[in-house]
Amino acid sequence: MTDLQPSIERLVLIGIGLIGGSLARALKRVKAVDQVIGVARSRTSGDLALDLGVIDSFQSDAGEAVRGASVVVVATPLRSFPGLFQAIAENLPGDALITDVGSVKQYVIDAARRHLPGHLDRFVPGHPIAGTERSGIGASFAELFEQRHVVLTPLPENSDAAVRAISDMWNATGADVINMDPAYHDQILAATSHLPHVIAYSLVRCLAEHPQRDAMFEFAAGGFYDFTRIASSDPVMWRDICMTNREPILAAIDEFKSRLDDIIGAVKEDDGELLRQYFTDAKRARDSGLDGKKKK
Amino acid sequence: MTDLQPSIERLVLIGIGLIGGSLARALKRVKAVDQVIGVARSRTSGDLALDLGVIDSFQSDAGEAVRGASVVVVATPLRSFPGLFQAIAENLPGDALITDVGSVKQYVIDAARRHLPGHLDRFVPGHPIAGTERSGIGASFAELFEQRHVVLTPLPENSDAAVRAISDMWNATGADVINMDPAYHDQILAATSHLPHVIAYSLVRCLAEHPQRDAMFEFAAGGFYDFTRIASSDPVMWRDICMTNREPILAAIDEFKSRLDDIIGAVKEDDGELLRQYFTDAKRARDSGLDGKKKK
């Protein structure tokens, strides 16, 4: 396998949190990278990343950091992308590859078209569908992407070599790489990931704002803990996802509210047969749809 | 500890699923029961329960089974309670204790008042707040109630001795017993347990009925699996919960929809500060509210 590994000379990682840190760890583990330059606004995460050996050097200025880069990976909250793209556009080497790990793809592509027009042949947007409810460099681990999907949404402008190189990078982490249309990606993720997070946040706020708040948390049943685990995810990351994938998320919430209204209607009508049917269909879909799938 | 254990001579278990089976196992483990008579409509579960040693004998007729009972535990879906109470009223010994494990308490109390008027001093309603998404006797295990809450909602008619005996029975399983007002119980459980289940069923149906159904399940992210685990729970049990705790559940769904509308509003208004605030509040409430709590 060794000679099939990509060899990235100088990886510039803009954003050293859970995803960025795990990517650096995974690539270092298989010796697919020589040098990782971490970029973050906070010196504290930089020092921690250095101490943990996840990065080899630290820079606070993205525009300076990308000089001499072989590959640039943007792994910050989505709404920082336009500013970062502007900041790196001038110094980004003409042969450097660039990718990102953003959970929304159309927004990222629009920003790249606006601010990185000279680099579109080498900008391959990506999204590893992996994560935990923890955030920050301290939560990163090399195995995060193993047997997980990484979606790439290549641009028509991309060179084959650029797409192949970014694909190889993710394969080296143990991930399974898939190409997809960006609008389709955003629609699927709105329903399978963004909607569940919006629901989890809303449910926890429901209980937290209840007059019997303490009893609510005290008597919360087992399923509730799992259910709200994702409400511990990073608020800034999720704010940015909601704001950059607006239409697909609003459509998914709307669809969900209709399904909720089905249940309200059946309860109000005292229609036990309909309720049993809804619950049986959901159980069957869930049991079969997820059967044998890897769970993280 | 041995002489503090309750000693139940003849336990009649109406319903031998996850909860009933786990109760029998837990009591047998600490030798707090001599004989367990299982009652179920299906001979198949009866045979399995006998094979597993969870029950010592099997009866299909609840009315016959309760003759000579020391303690009767009703552990079937809620809407079967009125019929079962009618069926056992005549043969239930005048000194037998009776309790249940139903997830809704006011409905059960109303049914008992109607159909067991001669036994109200010894009918102590209960609800173990424990369970898994699996159901049936095959999923039962003796440790299910350890360090979990069991809520009792004693009636004004209950004798102290009856409440104490049912409390002792649950303590013997390792549970932590708490007395509560039934209406308060139903309101708390509507928000912490019934609402999350309704949401999980609705979310899974959303994805299952989507035109891109296969992709939805294929790309469902990690959090989604946890989130929908509870949608694998028993549909009949949940139909009955929805139909017997109608008003508190409808109120909880309504409240949840308002919180969801808060997010919709903020997304539509492009109000990032408000979204960040909602998500931060939820994260903080979830992290602190559940901190150090036992998870199952």
Q: List pLDDT tens digits, range B10-36.
A: 999 999 999 999 999 999 999 999 999
Tell me the sheet residues that pair with B15. none
- Terminal-to-terminal C-alpha distance of chain B: 26
The pLDDT, as a whole number, for residue B290 is 58
Residue of A nearest to B284 (CA): A232
CATH of the domain at A49: 3.40.50.720
- For residue A55, being part of any structural domain is answered with yes
SS3 state of residue A116: coil
Distances (CA, A) of A61 to A86, A88, A122, B225, B273: 12, 9, 22, 39, 26
Of B201 and B1, the structure prediction assigns the larger pLDDT to B201
Residue numbers in B near A132 (CB within 8 A): 222
Residue numbers in B near A230 (CB within 8 A): 223, 226-227
Residue A236, domain extent: 184-289
Average pLDDT of chain B to the nearest whole number: 92
Residues A176 and A254 reside in one and the same domain: no
- For residue B251, being part of any structural domain is answered with yes
Q: How far is B280 from chain A (nearest CA, A)?
A: 5
Of B116 and A291, the structure prediction assigns the larger pLDDT to B116
Residues B61 and B176 reside in one and the same domain: yes
- For residue B83, being part of any structural domain is answered with yes
Nearest to B286 by CA among A102, A106, A134, A146: A134
Averaged pLDDT for residues B117-142:
93
The pLDDT, as a whole number, for residue B155 is 98
CATH of the domain at B247: 1.10.3660.10
Residue B137 pLDDT greater than 50, yes or no: yes
Q: What is the DSSP letter of A105?
A: S
- Digit-coded pLDDT (tens) for B61-77: 999 999 999 999 999 99
The pLDDT, as a whole number, for residue A6 is 72
Residues B90 and B225 reside in one and the same domain: no
The pLDDT, as a whole number, for residue A190 is 95
What gap in Å lies between CA B242 and CA B84, rounded to an integer? 20
**Domain boundary at B180, B206, B231, which?**
B180
Supply the DSSP string of B88-139, one letter for each residue: HHTTS-TT-EEEE--S-SHHHHHHHHHH-GGGTTSEE-EEE----S--SGGG
Q: How far is A166 from chain B (nearest CA, A)?
A: 20
- For residue A295, being part of any structural domain is answered with no
Cβ B98 vs Cβ B72: under 8 Å: yes
- Terminal-to-terminal C-alpha distance of chain A: 26
Q: What is the DSSP letter of B61?
A: -
Residues B176 and B52 reside in one and the same domain: yes
Query: Mean pLDDT per segment of 10 residues, for chain A of length 296 residues?
Result: 71 97 97 97 93 97 98 97 98 98 98 98 96 88 96 98 98 97 96 92 89 82 70 90 98 96 97 95 78 43
Residues B217 and B255 reside in one and the same domain: yes
What gap in Å lies between CA A111 and CA A116, rounded to an integer? 8
- For residue B2, being part of any structural domain is answered with no
Residue B23 sits at the vertex; the CA angle it makes with B18 and B24, to the nearest 5 degrees, is: 105
The pLDDT, as a whole number, for residue A221 is 62
Runs of H (alpha helix) within B121-210: 160-171, 182-189, 195-208
Q: What is the DSSP letter of B79?
A: G
Nearest to A38 by CA among A52, A59, A19, A61: A59
Taking an 8 Å cut-off on Cβ atoms, the answer to whether A275 and B242 are in contact is yes
Cβ A127 vs Cβ A241: under 8 Å: no
Q: How many CB pairs under 8 A join A and B?
A: 303
Averaged pLDDT for residues B188-210:
91
Mutation for B interface: A185, A192, A198, A249, most B CBs within 10 A: A192
Nearest to B113 by CA among B86, B139, B134, B144: B86
Cβ A19 vs Cβ A75: under 8 Å: yes
Residue numbers in B near A77 (CB within 8 A): none
Residues B125 and B226 reside in one and the same domain: no
Cβ B98 vs Cβ B11: under 8 Å: no
Tell me the sheet residues that pair with A88. none
Residue of A nearest to B188 (CA): A216
Residue numbers in A near B176 (CB within 8 A): none
Taking an 8 Å cut-off on Cβ atoms, the answer to whether A227 and B223 are in contact is no
From the CB of residue A9, how many other CB atoms can be counted at a distance below 10 Å?
11
Residue numbers in A near B248 (CB within 8 A): none
Mutation for A interface: B193, B194, B205, most A CBs within 10 A: B205
- For residue A65, being part of any structural domain is answered with yes
- For residue A190, being part of any structural domain is answered with yes
Residues B59 and B87 reside in one and the same domain: yes
Closest CB to B249 among A233, A243, A267:
A267
Residue B285 pLDDT greater than 50, yes or no: yes
Q: How far is A80 from chain B (nearest CA, A)?
A: 13
Residue A248 sits at the vertex; the CA angle it makes with A243 and A251, to the nearest 5 degrees, is: 115
Of A66 and B285, the structure prediction assigns the larger pLDDT to A66
Give the rounded distance of the alpha carbon of B196 from its chain centre.
14
Of B103 and A132, the structure prediction assigns the larger pLDDT to B103
Taking an 8 Å cut-off on Cβ atoms, the answer to whether B219 and A188 are in contact is yes
Residues B235 and B153 reside in one and the same domain: no
Averaged pLDDT for residues B206-210:
86
Closest CB to A282 among B196, B201, B250:
B201
| Domains identified in chain A, total number | 2
- Whether this model's ipTM surpasses 0.85 comes out as yes
What gap in Å lies between CA A81 and CA B44, rounded to an integer? 61
**Domain boundary at B122, B151, B180, which?**
B180
- For A116-126, b/e burial (b = at least 16 CB within 10 A) is beebbebbbbb
**Domain boundary at B122, B149, B180, which?**
B180
Residue numbers in B near A276 (CB within 8 A): 235-236, 239
Cβ B210 vs Cβ A291: under 8 Å: no
Residue numbers in B near A232 (CB within 8 A): 283, 286-287
Q: How far is A119 from chain B (nearest CA, A)?
A: 29
Mutation for B interface: A286, A287, A295, most B CBs within 10 A: A286
Residues A30 and A168 reside in one and the same domain: yes
Q: Phi then psi for B178, rounded to 5 degrees?
A: -135, 135
Residues A174 and A189 reside in one and the same domain: no
The pLDDT, as a whole number, for residue A289 is 65
Residues in chain B: 296
Nearest to A230 by CA among A264, A192, A260, A268: A192
What gap in Å lies between CA A191 and CA A216, rounded to an integer? 28
In the chain, the amino acid numbered B271 is D
Residue B294 pLDDT greater than 50, yes or no: no
Taking an 8 Å cut-off on Cβ atoms, the answer to whether A205 and B259 are in contact is yes
Residues A160 and A188 reside in one and the same domain: no
The pLDDT, as a whole number, for residue A131 is 82
Residues A267 and A244 reside in one and the same domain: yes
Q: How far is A130 from chain B (nearest CA, A)?
A: 7
